[in-house]
Amino acid sequence: GYGYPGELAATLIAENALQEKIRALAAAVAADHDSEQPPLLVCVLKGAVMFVTDFARAMPIPCELEFMAVSSYGSATSSSGVVRILKDLDRDITGRRVVIVEDIIDSGLTLSWLLKNLASRGPAAIDVVALLRKPEAVKVEVEVRYIGFDIPTDFVVGYGLDFAERYRDLPFVGLLGEHMYR
């Protein structure tokens, strides 16, 4: 993909490290499920799009895919806390074992809102798999069963994560150069 020359300060997590971690996460989630009740993966668009496609293909058991689009950031660099549904699920999740697939937990506001929203629809279980988490930025504690990497609070982009809709197409996670948002 395009490298955005001069815009990134550094690579934080390289492509091969991402893929290795995703295989481990998929194995961990699969170990807690069986093919009698295949997990329904709920990808949180847009950020989790890259993650869910690699994750689903790394799963050693069948899983189903659903997509929900929510936005709390808009073009700002910090979460507003106001979560909007841009696209809802296409089907009923009653009785299903749901696994929310998120790219990153920053303040935790998006996920905490989403957990309450989906829990009210009567699923059999809800777990969360998040590729990245910023422990020092968390404002709302959310129970997350599967975490890929804990990272510092720096502004990260790539592999689905954007700044004003750019950089999602990078195959790795990078640190955005400070001159790009200051």
In the range 17-76, which residues lie near Mn ion by CB under 5 A?
47
Residue 148 interface partner, choices Mn ion, Mg ion, ligand PRP, none, CB cut-off 5-8 Å depending on type = none
Q: Are 49 and 160 in contact (CB under 8 A)?
A: yes
Q: What is the CA radius of gyration of the chain?
A: 16
Q: Nearest distance from residue 61's CB to ligand PRP, in Å?
A: 25
Q: Nearest 5°: CA angle at 1, between 99 and 53?
A: 15
Catalytic residue from among 32, 92, 103, 106: 106
Residue with Cβ nearer ligand PRP (11 or 71)? 71
Q: Are 121 and 61 in contact (CB under 8 A)?
A: no
Residue with Cβ nearer Mn ion (44 or 56)? 44
Residues 6, 148: Cα–Cα separation, whole Å: 28
Q: Nearest distance from residue 37's CB to ligand PRP, in Å?
A: 26
Is 88 known to be catalytic? no
Residue 54 interface partner, choices Mg ion, Mn ion, ligand PRP, none, CB cut-off 5-8 Å depending on type = none
Q: Nearest distance from residue 162's CB to Mg ion, in Å?
A: 5
Q: Are 127 and 145 in contact (CB under 8 A)?
A: yes
Residues near ligand PRP, by CB under 6 A: 44, 46-47, 71-73, 79, 102-111, 162
Residues 4, 64: Cα–Cα separation, whole Å: 34
Q: Are 130 and 160 in contact (CB under 8 A)?
A: no
| Residues labelled catalytic | 106
